[in-house]
Amino acid sequence: MKVSIITAVLNNRDYIEDCLKTILNQTYPNIEHTIIDGGSTDGTLSIIEKFIDKKSRFISETDSGIYDAMNKGVMLSSGDVIGILNADDIYADEDVIKNVVQTIIKNKVDSCYGDLVYVARDNTNKVIRYWQAENFYKEKFKKGWMPPHPTFFVKRSAYEKHGMFNTDFPLAADYELMLRFLYKHEISTTYIPKVLVKMRTGGTSNPGLYTFKAILENYRAWKVNDLSPNPTTFFLKPFLKIFQFMPCNKKLNLLRRSVTKFKVDC
């Protein structure tokens, strides 16, 4: 099974090398890395060029944003399974892709996802926030839940059947895509109960950028797919992020269950 990893980048010379190395260091042998650069001018290109090999695909041209770049990556890639790793991010260990492939084959599913940690920009061993994804059932989406998109691996066939990233959602195209795939079309998935990705703080998904506009995009994601959310869905979504900053303990479990009726395993 061939795995394509897509990285969209624009002017990220400080961290792109870490991203490239974490993919090269994976123990799984059949990986293709597709790098979509939006026209970097800060030295990013010279770093990327040092890592290009026969298993890499690379283009540098102006695009219409990160999700347009991801769509280009999907179209250029040739893998059976596709994952997204942003330029700021790294895989948690060298066996992540091997575990993903084993999980998809063993469970005979179309997709999988795992946990994610937010780490300090200058120290990827310093955890700021822990996103524990938990087991899947589709009604969790109505309670504000979503999988961490950087940990979401999905078969190419899902993109072919159900479409690409919707670029009408500049802040929430990842949410809309997973809602469409997992909730509307019910592609099969399973949870890997371990950290798959380390994400540096300060990116496009950090809580400080969770604005009223993002809430509106989340609402539109349901409407564009002819789905009906709960009235509280869009307020629970940012609220649940608070728990990612707290230690996992019995008191937290009781509070979280009372609010969301989620099962939390610590």
Task: Say how far apart CA 155 and CA 10 lie, in whole Å.
Answer: 26
pLDDT at 232: 78
Q: Which residues pair with 8 in a beta bridge?
A: 36
Weakly modelled stretches of the chain, pLDDT under 70: 203-210, 235-266
pLDDT at 254: 42
CATH H-level, domain 3-260: superfamily: Spore Coat Polysaccharide Biosynthesis Protein SpsA; Chain A (3.90.550.10)
Its pTM stands at: 0.87
Residues 135, 99 contacting (CB under 8 angstroms): no
pLDDT at 212: 79
Task: Say how far apart CA 73 and CA 6 lie, in whole Å.
Answer: 6
pLDDT at 255: 44
